[in-house]
A and B are shown apart, each in its own frame.
Chain A
């Protein structure tokens, strides 16, 4: 079964609204989760590293006030796209690293469409 669950898989929203995407680690506790963004036919670009109990670490060029990340528990990280605009339409993927085995697991991804 899935190790990492991401929800919702698809979301359509109006411009100016905020959208929250959840990433859950189902099998193990995760102190660190990663959020990626993928445009059509392009690679995955790391947006930020989500750290449980502390502030997320954002990659250069990613607006932290635009993409709010909260890692409130060892099994849940959320990405909130605030005041979404059409250019925020993309595929967002989370991943979780398992420290004891070194394995990395990916969520199913969330397709955001902003009208």
Chain B
């Protein structure tokens, strides 16, 4: 079975600084997606970034980028120029692309609570 591990329950960063959130996963599959979701106090889940496992190039979305190390099964999220609005719970998630793609379930990590200090 696949598992997702986030070893940092809480992190803190100064506004305008850079922070990296860690995520490791375990799977025997070769075809999958990895995601980072943000959950602010409103509890609405917001997709931050996603990475297809077959792509070697790391995904980037504006101030957000990932360091995807497939062999090490590591998928960290880097937030540059941190803003107060980045404060939230961040979840790393895995989805198999076997057979069903978007109809497959997401497996979430335990989350990292990010605080941004002004």
Question: What string of 1s and 0s marks CB contacts (under 8 Å) between B82-118 and chain A?
Answer: 0000000001000100001111111111110100000
We find that the number of chain A residues with CB closer than 8 angstroms to chain B is 25
The interface size bin for chain B is: 20 to 34
Interface of B is mostly: mixed
Shortest Cβ distance from residue A78 to the other chain B in the assembled complex, whole angstroms: 19
Chain A: minimal CB distance from B96 (Å): 12
Selected from A43, A97, A102, the residue in CB contact (under 8 A) with B91 is A43
Residue of B nearest to A96 (CB): B102
What residue of chain A has the Cβ atom nearest to residue B46's Cβ?
A: A106
The yes or no answer to B33 lying at the interface (CB within 8 A) is yes
Nearest Cβ in chain A — how far from B4, in angstroms? 9
Indicate with 1 or 0, residue by residue over A31-52, a CB within 8 angstroms of chain B CB atoms: 1101000100111111001000
Which residues of chain A come closer than 8 Å to B107, judged between CB atoms? 46
In this assembly, does B43 line the interface, its C-beta being within 8 Å of a C-beta of chain A?
A: yes
Instruction: Report if A95 contacts B (CB, 8 A).
Output: yes
Known contacts A43-B91, A43-B109, A43-B110; decide if A106 and B44 are in contact (CB<8 Å). yes
Residues in A with CB closer than 8 Å to B91 are 43-44
| B11 interfacial contact with A, CB 8 Å | no
A42 touches B33 (CB 8 A): no
CB neighbours of B95 from chain A (8 A)? 104
User: Residues of B at under 8 Å CB distance from A?
Assistant: 33, 35, 42-45, 47, 91, 95, 100-111, 113
Q: Which residues of A contact B (CB under 8 A)?
A: 31-32, 34, 38, 41-46, 49, 91, 93, 95, 97-99, 101-104, 106, 108-109, 111
